[in-house]
């Protein structure tokens, strides 16, 4: 990676991508012993990426760094964001084989590629992208156990934020062959005054939508807003590494283009959400689950289930990978596999 054209982990102060488009970025270790997050800002390639390493004992910090470096390298060659994310997946897996990291290491990622005011977003895992235009709009759907429950109406957004399995993901860079890797996509155009926020879950696990909106609404440079988001997270007791990148359009820019797909929107004036799934009435579907998989609160964990293979065995179909995927299959499958595992352990104990 060319250190003159790409910034990695160091503070980025309002770097100019194109006339009227600026980027800022920050990361903080918070209460962890080391930082498993990484971020990339490269004005020469118009690319920004934020990554969160999975599993500290599995060298998550190596996986997140490889992810950012690989995205930078592939964008320099092809300028194709999909190829860049999939190349990162291959490079993390190759890193394990070469001894650069450890078996089981992986990373989440959310990346943006800009062409003037036009942007593309790609993600894997639960690192997120938001759009701020006076309201806060979520542009990404987490590849996670809890996101599937939320989209089915089994839990509320507040329950999702405090769920014992909120850090359990089902997709990550470095743990899937390319055919099994599910990459999410979105695209749009920045209008004057709008801001894109890319972040690891160390931010949104701690700050709610109102707190994020308050800081993004300030009339201050992007670098100061990045610092404000991280400072607020730390002051609120955030334990996990936290990384943010902001991409902003000045009021002077001219912009035309399609609007992105919106998962949900939050209005800070009314504190009202629009677009959240309707909550089911059946309380049997909303019983709290065991905290067994949440033994390390605040740490991203991988649910090691090959969803494609399991669904094929059961005659089901995998939902599309993009923003319109239907994760109902995920939830029933995960619960079924978990139940079979518990039964098998109990049988072994009884027979032994």
Q: What is the pLDDT of residue 6?
A: 76
The number of angstroms, rounded, from the C-alpha of 346 to the middle of its chain's C-alpha atoms is 36
Cα separation, 174 vs 91, whole angstroms: 8
Residue 103 lies in a domain: yes
Check: CB of residue 56 under 8 Å from CB of residue 299.
yes
Cα separation, 65 vs 70, whole angstroms: 9
Q: How confident is the model at residue 218 (pLDDT cuts 50, 70, 90)?
A: very high
* Containing structural domain, residue 200: 7-274
Residue 222 lies in a domain: yes
Least confident of 173-177, 254-258, 264-268, 274-278: 254-258
Residue 327 lies in a domain: no
Residue 256 lies in a domain: yes
Global confidence as pTM: 0.81
Largest CA distance in the chain: 73
Residue 206 lies in a domain: yes
Most confident of 105-119, 162-176, 251-265, 335-349: 105-119
More confident residue, 352 or 171: 171
Q: Quick check: 310 pLDDT over 60? A: no
User: In the chain, how many domains are there?
Assistant: 1
The domain that contains 225 carries what CATH number?
3.60.40.10
Q: What is the pLDDT of residue 323?
A: 29
Check: CB of residue 48 under 8 Å from CB of residue 111.
yes
Residue 173 lies in a domain: yes
Residue 153 lies in a domain: yes
Residue 176 lies in a domain: yes
Q: How far apart are the first and last CA of the chain?
A: 55
Q: How confident is the model at residue 301 (pLDDT cuts 50, 70, 90)?
A: low
Tokens of 11: 């503070």
């Amino acid at each position: 990676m060319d250190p003159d054209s790409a910034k990695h982990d160091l503070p980025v102060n309002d770097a100019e991508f194109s006339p009227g488009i600026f980027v800022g970025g920050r990361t903080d270790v918070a209460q962890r012993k080391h930082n498993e997050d990484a971020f990339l800002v490269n004005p020469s390639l118009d690319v920004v990426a934020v990554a969160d390493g999975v599993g500290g004992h599995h060298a998550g910090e190596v996986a997140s760094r490889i992810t950012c470096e690989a995205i930078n390298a592939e964008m320099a060659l092809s300028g194709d964001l999909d190829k860049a994310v999939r190349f990162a997946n291959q490079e993390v897996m190759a890193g394990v084989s070469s001894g650069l990291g450890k078996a089981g290491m992986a990373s989440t990622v959310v990346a943006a590629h800009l062409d003037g005011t036009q942007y593309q977003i790609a993600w894997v895992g639960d690192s997120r992208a938001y759009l701020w235009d006076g309201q806060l709009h979520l542009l990404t759907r987490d590849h996670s156990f809890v996101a599937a429950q939320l989209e089915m109406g089994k839990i509320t957004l507040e329950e999702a934020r405090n769920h014992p399995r909120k850090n359990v993901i089902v997709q990550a860079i470095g743990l899937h062959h390319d055919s099994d890797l599910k990459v999410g996509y979105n695209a749009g155009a920045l209008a004057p005054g709008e801001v894109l926020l890319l972040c690891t879950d160390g931010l949104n696990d701690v700050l709610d939508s109102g707190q994020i909106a308050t800081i993004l609404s300030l009339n201050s440079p992007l670098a100061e807003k990045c610092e404000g988001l991280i400072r607020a997270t730390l002051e609120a007791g955030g334990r996990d590494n936290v990384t943010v990148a902001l991409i902003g359009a000045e009021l002077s820019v001219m912009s035309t283009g399609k609007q992105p797909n919106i998962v949900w929107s939050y209005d800070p004036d009314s504190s009202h959400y629009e677009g959240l799934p309707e909550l089911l009435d059946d309380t049997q579907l909303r019983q709290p689950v065991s905290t067994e998989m949440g033994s390390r609160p605040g740490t991203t964990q991988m649910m090691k289930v090959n969803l494609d293979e399991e669904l094929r065995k059961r005659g089901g179909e995998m939902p599309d990978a993009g923003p319109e995927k239907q994760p109902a299959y995920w939830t029933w499958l995960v619960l079924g596999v978990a139940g079979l595992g518990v039964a098998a352990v109990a049988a072994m104990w009884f027979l032994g």
